[in-house]
Chains A and B, each alone.
Chain A
Amino acid sequence: MSASAAAEPRFAAAARWISTGARLVLGGVFIVAGALKVIDPQSSVAAVRAYRLLPSSLETMVGWGLPFAEIALGLLLLAGIATRVVAVATAILLLVFIFAVASAWVRGLSIDCGCFGGGGEVAPGQTAYGAELLRDVGLLLLALWLVWQPRSRLALDGFGNARDQPHGERRSRESGAMNEA
């Protein structure tokens, strides 16, 4: 025993704290972004409509439902449940956001991304596509980090992220993580 367990590689220890930070930042941002949109259902639908990507029958559903999906993913990230699976879903959602904002930019629309509530048309000089995309790409990197390094401190995670560990060790980690949380 011991050799691998005792001298845990430094990288792994640091990675777990980095992953904790990534979970908290990503989860916090998603919850805030979702909550700000939930407050104002009309604006949320209007923000979706401004992208001119969906048929009108879907705009209302997405405008009402998407903020709750963000909150659900945010809560799972904060709790650290099945981090890898949730991180994959988060990354996919962020890719959709990046695609939508980039397509609005390319098509020459003048809209606010509505990422944190608001949204809709803005004056042509008032767009901030570059900054919006940069922020989304930053968040995407955090999500991809979590796909790569899903194990983290202060997480409820039991498995789904420990397949590569020997069984006995995984057990102890699991209970350890439970206790910490």
Chain B
Amino acid sequence: MTSPKNMNARERARLAAEQAAARKRDQRILIAAIAAFVVVVVAGGILFQAWRTNRSPAAAPSTSASASPVTISNGQPLVLGSAEAPTTITLYEDFHCPHCAEFEEEFGPVITQAQESGAARVELYPMSFIDEGSVTAANAMACAAEAGFGQAYYLGLFANHTLQWSDPQLIDLATKAGGSPSEAFKTCVTRKAHADWVSSMNAAADKNSVVQTPTMLINGKPVDIANLTPESLKAMIASASRR
């Protein structure tokens, strides 16, 4: 006959062991659940970014800036706007540089307006140091300028700067920026026709000691972008054009 005391002790030990096992199991389940949560968030995030960078571009903002075709020659920037404009705005930008996209969002309208009114033209040095998309976008930008819709294409590239810029996306953007693109434009994009010019832009920026993007000069004078407002930029362009 076992005494109640003994039974209690054994019972208690059994209970404690059961509880310990249950706790251990609960903890394993919790760790698995947390690992699963992190994995799901990360996998979902990767899919989200894949979708975000591979979708087709949104429509480009419309512009009435001059659409005359430009000639592409190595080391020479793209000229967007009237050749007679009194003021030259020089821009060094990478189509995938986030600060360039912010710059465009804030100051792009002022610059576009100056181009449209004939007050200024833009000399564009598209640089390509962020990734492969910087290179394909810079090449397509040259193709578009050559075909005469450089200005609209430029705005479209920045309006869709989160895209990775595959060939189909770049051709799709042309449809939205300049009407149906010619076969010549498509070939220009897929064959990377201006690859040499694109690398000549990086070299030109190096030669001109440009160390960051965006870099802006008005009539050759560097502008301090950090302290710039759209109003002060407007005033700068106006005073540069009066001289």
Contact B130 A41 (CB under 8 A): no
Chain A residue nearest in CB terms to B161:
A42
In the complex, whether A107 has a CB less than 8 A from a CB of chain B is no
Contact A159 B131 (CB under 8 A): no
Q: Compute how far the CA of A170 lies from the CA of B162 in the bound complex, rounded to whole angstroms.
A: 50
Size band of the A side of the interface?
Answer: 20 to 34
- Contacting B133 at CB < 8 Å: which of A42, A64, A73? A42
- Contacting A120 at CB < 8 Å: which of B44, B49, B130, B161? B130
Contact B131 A49 (CB under 8 A): yes
Query: Which chain A residues lie closer than 8 Å to B164 at the CB level?
Result: 42
Within 8 A of A (CB), among B22-55: 23, 26-27, 30-31, 34, 37-38, 41-46, 49-50, 52-53
In the complex, whether A67 has a CB less than 8 A from a CB of chain B is yes
Query: Which chain B residues lie closer than 8 Å to A27 at the CB level?
Result: none
Assuming the contacts A85-B31, A163-B23, asked whether A42 and B42 have C-beta atoms less than 8 A apart, the reply is no
Q: Compute how far the CA of A40 lies from the CA of B161 in the bound complex, rounded to whole angstroms.
A: 9
In the complex, whether B129 has a CB less than 8 A from a CB of chain A is yes
Assuming the contacts A40-B162, A43-B98, A46-B130, asked whether A68 and B34 have C-beta atoms less than 8 A apart, the reply is no
Query: Which chain A residues lie closer than 8 Å to B31 at the CB level?
Result: 82, 85, 160
Q: Compute how far the CA of A76 lies from the CA of B46 in the bound complex, rounded to whole angstroms.
A: 19
Assuming the contacts A42-B96, A43-B98, A76-B34, asked whether A68 and B41 have C-beta atoms less than 8 A apart, the reply is yes
- Mask of A32-54 contacts with B, CB within 8 angstroms, 1/0: 00000010111101100100000
Assuming the contacts A46-B96, A82-B30, A163-B23, asked whether A68 and B131 have C-beta atoms less than 8 A apart, the reply is no
Contact A117 B45 (CB under 8 A): no
Query: Which chain A residues lie closer than 8 Å to B131 at the CB level?
Result: 42, 45-46, 49
Q: Compute how far the CA of A61 lies from the CA of B19 in the bound complex, rounded to whole angstroms.
A: 42
In the complex, whether B211 has a CB less than 8 A from a CB of chain A is yes
In the complex, whether A65 has a CB less than 8 A from a CB of chain B is yes
In the complex, whether A118 has a CB less than 8 A from a CB of chain B is yes
- Contacting A69 at CB < 8 Å: which of B16, B23, B42, B52? B42
Contact A72 B49 (CB under 8 A): no
Q: What is B's interface to A at a CB cutoff of 8 Å?
A: 16, 19, 23, 26-27, 30-31, 34, 37-38, 41-46, 49-50, 52-53, 96-98, 129-131, 133, 161-162, 164, 211-212
A-B contact pairs, 11 of them (CB 8 A): A40-B98, A41-B52, A42-B162, A46-B96, A68-B44, A69-B41, A71-B45, A76-B34, A76-B37, A159-B26, A167-B16
